[in-house]
Amino acid sequence: MTELDTVLAGDSATGTDDTATRWSRREFIKRVIASGAVASAGLYIYGGLAGCARKGAVAGGVERLVSINVNGAVRRVDVLPQETLAMTLRYKLGLTGTKLGCDRSECGACTVLIDDVTHYSCSTLTHAVRARKVVTIEGLEGPNGELHPVQKAFVDELAPQCGFCTPGQVMSAVALLKRNPKPTREEARFALSGNLCRCGAYDNYLNAVMRAATEG
Ligand code: FES
Ligand code: FES
C-alpha cells in the first residue's frame, strides 16, 4: 500500500488505531504541498501521460545538449527541438512536482516561474528558456527543507483537496506576492484565475494567499 493509499483509506499505515502513527489531514496536505505525493492520483484525474509522451520524432529532429538554469542550478540536458519544458522538467530532470493536466494551456497545473513570471510549462519550448531562470515548486524549498511561506499558508488554510492543482496554485501565488506583496482579494483571484481546480477549492486557495500576504 502506498502512502497515498494509506491516507485515502483513512487509516494508519499499520491498520490499527494507533493515533501516534495515523496521519492527520493537515499532515497529508503538508506532504502534498511539499510536492509529489499525488502524482499517481493525478494520472487518473487528468488522463495520464498521453499528453507529455514524446510525440514521435519530427523529421530531422535530434536532441541537442543544452544548459538551463533550474532552481538556481545549471542543468545540462538533451532536448528535442519540439520538447516542452514540462516534459524536460518531469521526465529528464525528475522534477515531478510540476504536474501535467491538459497539456494545452488550459488548466495551469504545469505552472512554473520563468524570470519570476508565471508560464505554462506544457506550452513553453525548453529551447526558449536557455538564457532564463526557471523555478519549479521544488525550488521554493528553504535551505533546511522548510516550506515556503506561501506553502505554509496553504497548509494552514487546508487549501488543497486532491492536491493535483496545488503546485500550480502555489507558483501563481508566489509570483503574485513577489510583484504585489499586499494584494486585494480580487487581485489574488485574478492572479490565480489561470489555475483551474476540479475540486472547487478556490475560496480556500484565496484564503491562503491572503494569509500569506498578511503573515509574509
Ligand atoms: S498542463 Fe494544463 S496548462 Fe499546462
Ligand atoms: S484539483 Fe483537486 S485540489 Fe485542485
Domain CATH number, residue 22: 3.10.20.30
Q: Is the CB of 45 under 6 A from ligand 2?
A: no
Q: Using one digit for the tens of pLDDT, what is the confidence trace for 104-125?
A: 999 999 999 999 999 999 999 9
> How far, in Å, from the CA of 92 to the mean position of ligand 1?
18
What is the rounded average pLDDT for all residues in the chain?
83
d(CA 71, CA 188): 24
Closest atom of ligand 1 to 108 CA is 3
Looking only at the bridges linking them, the beta strands covering 133-135 and 64-70 are parallel
Q: Is the pLDDT of residue 165 over 50?
A: yes
Structural domain boundaries enclosing 192: 1-216
Calculate what percentage of the chain has a pLDDT beyond 90: 70
187 Cβ contact list (under 8 Å, min separation 6)? 176, 180
Ligand 2, residues 43, 199, 204: which to mutate, most atoms within 8 A of Cβ?
A: 199
Q: Model's pTM, two decimal places?
A: 0.78
Domain count along the chain: 1
27: left (phi over 0), alpha (psi -120 to 50) or beta: alpha
**Which atom of ligand 2 is closest in space to residue 200's alpha carbon?**
4
Would the CB of 164 count as within 6 Å of ligand 1?
no
Residue 204: CB atoms within 10 A of its CB come to 18
Nearest CA to ligand 2 atom 4: 197
**36: confidence class by pLDDT, cuts 50, 70, 90:** very low
Would the pLDDT of 20 be above 70?
no
Residue 191 has a pLDDT of 98
Cell digits of residue 179: 510583484
Of 91, 104, 114, the one to substitute when testing ligand 1's pocket (max ligand atoms within 8 A of C-beta) is 104
pLDDT above 70: percentage of residues in the chain: 72
Q: Whose CA is nearest to atom 3 of ligand 1?
A: 105
Tell whether the model's pLDDT for residue 10 goes beyond 90: no
Alpha-carbon distance 184 to 12, whole Å? Answer: 40
How far, in Å, is the centroid of ligand 2 from the Cα of 79?
A: 31
Instruction: Compute the distance from residue 130 Cα to the ligand 1 centre, in Å.
Output: 21
> 35-39, 144-148, 152-156, 167-171: lowest mean pLDDT where?
35-39
Average the pLDDT over each of 14-23, 60-69, 116-125 and give the range with the smallest value: 14-23
Residue 3 pLDDT more than 50?
no
pLDDT digits (tens, 9 = 90+) for 68-100: 999 999 999 999 999 999 999 999 999 999 999
- C-alpha grid cell for residue 7? 491516507
Pocket-testing residue among 90, 107, 164, ligand 1, by greatest number of atoms within 8 A of Cβ: 107
